[in-house]
Structure 1
Amino acid sequence: MALPVQQQAKYWGIVTVVMLVVLWFLGDVILPFVLGGAIAYCFDPIADRLEAAGFSRTASVTIITLIAVVLFILLILLVIPTLISQTTQLIDTAPQLFDRLRSTLTERFPSLVDSESTVHKQLLAIGEAIQSKGGELLNGVLSSALGLLNVVVLLVIVPVVAFYLLLDWDKMTARIDDLLPRDHVETVRMLARQIDSTLASFIRGQGTVCLVLGTYYAVALMIAGLKFGLIVGFIAGLVTFIPYVGALVGGVLAVGLALFQFWGGTEVIDGETIIQTTNWLRIGIVAGIFFLGQFLEGNILTPKLVGGSVGLHPVWLLFALSVFGSLFGFVGMLVAVPVAAVIGVLTRYGIEHYKGGRLYRGLSTDE
């Protein structure tokens, strides 16, 4: 005989509270294990396919690990130094961007932005704040001994955790299945399949979309001649998991930088005044890159890699990221998507039962 609903709710409530408390106090400690688990979850289907092709589980995981190590080394050697360099240059260039903006506004709207106006002072303050705060943030991340130690720990622990979790993934899922309450095992399995489908569609599919679009934006912008093409592509790809936000943020940043770089004006070099014309073609190419990216995302990448609705509305996802990020920091943001998927699936399951129950249908529907 199953336990009463009140007792079940009490037990599951206790489990939830304990998990939140652990997340609250051990957030930084469990970060490598959360990242390792996420990596193992993403690569498990590849390991399963290699097993189906005739490889053992150990051989499959070893192959995946070797390929990942090679790609990571190439990333460290080829991409990350340029990314850090462009980020530093962008932070240093930010005041010049605002100086150019302020000069343009002064020329076109002199009565609006005179030297004593609020707009003039705010533009100056924003430029100085971005340079100072951005520099402080970058220096803090790169020069902090604790931050460097944490990065080293992550680089060592995360791959080890991911390797062993991926190696024993099927055994762990079988063990968890064996521990499920027997009275509700089929219901839990059904909900788990729905949660896995949602996460697989979103994390694996959308993660691939982010990687493809980020690479496309970075390469295309650098070919177009944009000075900070790599960092703009990285930012755009990073936030592509929120529909339209990646293209909007990256597009505004890229077009703004293109206007700064290719906009005409006068420049004094060695005592001579040189007039530069506006390169509208380059500016149009930068804008066209993001329009093409949006077309590829909406019509090819997302339908093929993510599929239809995955049950995670952008507003709900933003809310989950904001709440868990503010409560539990970076670890909270990592677990926000899985938690949002679980809550979404449980909510839909509850709504289905509610619509089939007497509270919704009323007494008039009783036979």
Structure 2
Amino acid sequence: MTLKQQVRFWAIALVAFILFLVLLSNILLPFVLGMAVAYFLDPVADRMEAVGINRTAATAIIIGLFLVLVILSIILLVPVIIDQILGLLNNLPGYYQSLHDFFLPIIDRFIDIPALQENDELKKTIAQYVGEAVKGLGSLSKNIVGGGLAVVNMITLLVITPVVAFYLLRDWDYIVDRINGWLPHKNALQIRKLAGQIDDVLAGFVRGQSTVCLVLAIYYGVALMATGLEFGLVIGIVTGLISFIPFVGAIIGFVASVGVALFQFWPDFVMIGVVGAIFVVGQILEGYVLTPNLVGEKVGLHPVWVMFGLLAGGSLFGFVGVLIAIPMAAVVGVLSRFAIEQYLQSPLYGAPPPVDPDSTPED
């Protein structure tokens, strides 16, 4: 097969894969989640198998324990989180009015805006838009929680995802061996090397970062609740879970929690400072303890590339795109570095031809 034929074959395969994602994105979520769970838990199954436990039994134990933890989390946390989210949405108009009353006199000291202060129509318009936005968010939340389609989707996730995860985790080594056997013989070694680099990046980022996010979600949620902060649990959990987006999670969580603390504890600067200190400690914990030990520094995914991948995946394929964005970013990153290495060694870049070790230099 010529190089042109190879390029055509892989281009067609890539287009077919993208069309597959686009056409079936609505039903891919449980399968993507199941694959993610299997990949995440494969090292645990390998360790249990190494000590003599049958692979099927090890898989059943792991998936069973995983399901118990998920169900307990849903039963214990989801009602509280939903209640806090709806309460936060209901309080947004009051927060807006408090912000308006607090900042308008400060701005007026530097800028003469009597027209803005006296323009009741503008205030009513802004309040109307804020009220409509809050009502819309509240309706959306209620539909997500109580809609019939949402119930069906939740049941589908709870039923199909564990089944997919079980079979993939049980047969993971077999699947890897089968795919390894399909590799073209001419390029098999190079493909295995690239696949190993991709797995190292995914293992370091996905498994490590997922653990970091879980630890931070527990820390922020418990710490903010301990201060008595309103909606502290939901703010803490959301902050931890989106910490895989560099700096974004910490900034959003800090602004939200300190903002709520200002309204709730003002003028108690000690409690406001305690809420802010929780995020300072969280950033120290993440930057100096969790990330170096669980993620490492050689995953090869730049923060800007991670954010771009998440936005691109979400824009193209919705929530499923967000889930596969990091793996795709890792694949593209490894392949891009390989392509750059090949380019730097090619005549196109101007690199000298390779020297034959058996040849002797001419006098």
Question: Same fold judged by TM-score > 0.5?
Answer: yes
| Shift in Å, 1:366 | 7.6
Partner amino acid, structure 2, of 1:342: V
Q: Distance in 1 between matches of 2:128 and 2:253?
A: 23
Q: Distance in 2 between matches of 1:154 and 1:290?
A: 33
Conserved 8 A contact 1:255-1:287: yes
Conserved 8 A contact 1:102-1:120: no
Which residue of the other structure, out of 257, 265, 276, is the alignment partner of 1:254? 257
Tell me if 1:137 matches 2:140.
Answer: yes
Residue in 1 that maps onto 2:285: 296
Superposed CA offset, 1:126-176 (max 9, x none): 532441121121022122211221111111100111011101111111111
Q: Distance in 2 between matches of 1:141 and 1:180?
A: 44
Partner amino acid, structure 1, of 2:80: T
Tell me if 1:189 matches 2:192.
Answer: yes
Summarize the Cα distance change of 1:68–1:115 in structure 2 as closer, same or farther, 3 Å threshold. farther
SS in 2 for 1:358: coil
Which residue of the other structure, out of 72, 84, 88, is the alignment partner of 2:70? 72
| Mapping for residues 1-367 of structure 1, pairs under 5 Å | 3-109=1-107, 112=113, 113-116=116-119, 120=123, 124-125=127-128, 127-263=130-266, 278-362=267-351
Conserved 8 A contact 2:213-2:240: yes
Superposed CA offset, 1:308-330 (max 9, x none): 13111121122222222112111
Q: More displaced, 15-24 or 144-153?
A: 144-153
| Shift in Å, 1:294 | 0.3
Summarize the Cα distance change of 1:290–1:335 in structure 2 as closer, same or farther, 3 Å threshold. same
Superposed CA offset, 1:22-68 (max 9, x none): 11111112221111111100000110011112211112112212211
Q: Distance in 2 between matches of 1:208 and 1:229?
A: 21
Summarize the Cα distance change of 1:145–1:299 in structure 2 as closer, same or farther, 3 Å threshold. same
Q: Distance in 2 between matches of 1:225 and 1:325?
A: 35
Q: Distance in 2 between matches of 1:126 and 1:192?
A: 51
Conserved 8 A contact 1:201-1:306: yes
| Shift in Å, 1:106 | 4.1
Conserved 8 A contact 1:216-1:233: yes
Q: Distance in 1 between matches of 2:324 and 2:146?
A: 28
Partner amino acid, structure 1, of 2:197: Q
Partner amino acid, structure 1, of 2:46: D
| Shift in Å, 1:291 | 0.4
Q: CA RMSD in A?
A: 1.9
Q: More displaced, 23-32 or 126-135?
A: 126-135
Superposed CA offset, 1:273-311 (max 9, x none): xxxxx1111100000000000001000000000001311
Paired-residue identity, %: 46
Summarize the Cα distance change of 1:281–1:14 in structure 2 as closer, same or farther, 3 Å threshold. same
Residue in 2 that maps onto 1:268: none
Q: Distance in 1 between matches of 2:142 and 2:38?
A: 32
Conserved 8 A contact 1:27-1:328: yes
Summarize the Cα distance change of 1:53–1:279 in structure 2 as closer, same or farther, 3 Å threshold. same
Q: Distance in 1 between matches of 2:260 and 2:153?
A: 33
Structure 2 gaps of 5+ residues are 357-363
Partner amino acid, structure 1, of 2:277: G
Q: More displaced, 317-326 or 218-227?
A: 317-326
Q: Distance in 2 between matches of 1:126 and 1:254?
A: 24
Q: Distance in 2 between matches of 1:126 and 1:252?
A: 22
| Shift in Å, 1:258 | 0.4
Structure 1 gaps of 5+ residues are 264-277
Q: Distance in 2 between matches of 1:129 and 1:239?
A: 27
Superposed CA offset, 1:65-101 (max 9, x none): 2211221222122111111110010000111111111
Q: Distance in 2 between matches of 1:61 and 1:136?
A: 40
Pairs aligned (count): 351
Residue in 2 that maps onto 1:270: none
> After the TM superposition, which segments of 4 or more aligned residues of structure 1 sit over 3 Å from their partners?
106-113, 117-123, 362-367
Superposed CA offset, 1:231-282 (max 9, x none): 101211121012221111100000000001111xxxxxxxxxxxxxx11111
